Amino acid sequence: MGMNTPGDVLEQEPQDIAARAEEVGGERLDRTNLEILLTAIIGGGEVSLGGLAAVSWVGNMIGLWRHGGLAVPPFGVFVSALLAGGLAVTLTC
């Protein structure tokens, strides 16, 4: 089976959809440790970058609110966000 559009899925029998989901799930469960590690590293990196972006944005908004200008959060906040991303990598392995 190839990629289906939403219209195609609506035309399929529930048993066919369940069989396809079982097939895809089996493929995901059969991944090697290297594939799982790479997924964890990429996912942790994305979480870290998202956290850094959020911290920077919130820090600047607080700075604007308090001082009427742009502010950069303290370095420790960035380190904490990176550690949280590393924790996400560790927990997904």
In a 13 Å sphere around the CA of 81, the CA atoms on its Cβ side amount to 20
For residues 37 and 43, what is the distance between their CA atoms, to the nearest angstrom? 10
pLDDT at 1: 46
pLDDT at 34: 92
pLDDT at 74: 64
pLDDT at 47: 84
This prediction's pTM: 0.45
For residues 47 and 39, what is the distance between their CA atoms, to the nearest angstrom? 12
Q: Residue 52, Cα to own-chain centre: how many angstroms?
A: 14
For residues 85 and 32, what is the distance between their CA atoms, to the nearest angstrom? 22
Confidence of residue 27 (pLDDT cuts 50, 70, 90): confident
pLDDT exceeds 60 at position 6? no
Q: Where are the alpha helices (DSSP H) in 1-93?
A: 6-11, 14-29, 33-67, 75-92
For residues 59 and 41, what is the distance between their CA atoms, to the nearest angstrom? 26
Give the model confidence (pLDDT) of 28-74 as tens digits: 888 888 988 888 888 888 888 888 888 877 777 777 666 666 555 56
